[in-house]
Homo-oligomer: A and B are copies of this chain.
């Protein structure tokens, strides 16, 4: 019989969607579920996206240029120049979401047997993107006790070997919310340069930082032009996840020339969505301030709720819209199943993303969960109360058994 590739067999399913069948069954029984498991913002997409698409008047919806619609590339360039990051148009390729940007970057960098360092816990879809190249992830370990920080030479350097090709970091972090300080960014850059590694920054949550200071983007490091690759997207920035428009950004000309081969191969990113995304980059910066304020409140609501639950440990995240929390339960997979099958609080329950899927090291994260605080305040408040009562009931039950 035909066999499938070893690479696809090493890939897994999304841990965020693992409990979908339980969810369907629970909803069929009439249970209301608070979704803390999916990072789908409920913030309205700026109207200008839809208005611009409605005004599109070309009779033929034709291919866009492979590197991207020029106006979109120009908009991205302008956005970066406002961050004091001068780019050329050739430094930017329009992609189908940040996902494709990372797929392309990894296909250009990783061969079978190559390794990439990623701080764990990390966004689980990185597993798929890396494994499909034949490469593998070597995790940089962190711990909830240390607030999941990873910029530490003594921890990273022993992991580098002759197979290591790159370091990938999500900044602000998903799932941890860690935001690197300028000094930490500098340190990561030095390590990458000293060991001749690409330094890939997934910065799609750039605007979601709550400490008052702007994120230090890897693209600010002028002496790192050859090493730095940035993954970007309109998905979170403008609450336009379904547009699937992102960007691959690098000043490494050889990398970009090779990435262009893939861009030509797949022809282009969606034309209309690029037109809409271009308009998004025209929204006033007050938009970000309002969104940031809203998410900050949501974060604080969650943190307040979590702080009241005995035995829960979590650091207040500095960015993105996730909280990684350690729960006083044996196994958050089992706890999630129980919450959907055996528990309810006034007809309601919660879903989160169990922590194990965010780790590469077997067994790690089993008592952790990722919470996405992408819901309205009042729903988050209620979700925290439901979670608290769930933890109480589950641990009481476990104590008895």
Chain A interface (Cβ < 8 Å from any Cβ of B): 1-2, 4-9, 11-14, 17, 40-45, 49-50, 53-54, 56, 59-64, 66, 96-97, 99-100, 103, 107-112, 114, 125, 127-129, 132-134, 165, 196-198, 226-227, 239-244, 254-255, 258-262, 264-273
Q: How far is the CA of A315 from the CA of B358 in the complex (A)?
A: 57
Closest Cβ–Cβ distance, residue A96 to chain B (whole Å): 5
Q: Are B13 and A64 within 8 A (Cβ)?
A: no
Q: Across the interface, name the chain B residue whose C-beta is closest to A132.
A: B107
Extra inter-chain contacts (6) besides given A8-B107, A43-B60, CB under 8 Å = A4-B255, A14-B265, A17-B264, A40-B63, A53-B53, A62-B242
Q: How far is the CA of A11 from the CA of B41 in the complex (A)?
A: 38
Number of copies: 2
Q: Are B2 and A198 within 8 A (Cβ)?
A: yes
Q: How far is the CA of A265 from the CA of B60 in the complex (A)?
A: 31
Q: Are B258 and A9 within 8 A (Cβ)?
A: yes
Q: Across the interface, name the chain B residue whose C-beta is closest to A271.
A: B242
What are 18 A-to-B residue pairs whose CB atoms are below 8 Å? A1-B196, A2-B197, A4-B108, A4-B254, A4-B258, A5-B111, A5-B133, A13-B261, A45-B61, A53-B272, A63-B241, A96-B100, A128-B262, A128-B265, A132-B262, A243-B272, A244-B268, A244-B270
Residues of B within 8 A of A2 (CB): 109, 165, 196-198, 226-227
Q: Are B261 and A11 within 8 A (Cβ)?
A: yes
Q: How far is the CA of A350 from the CA of B17 in the complex (A)?
A: 52
Q: How far is the CA of A133 from the CA of B107 in the complex (A)?
A: 9
Select A44's contact among B60, B97, B110, B267, beta carbons within 8 Å: B60
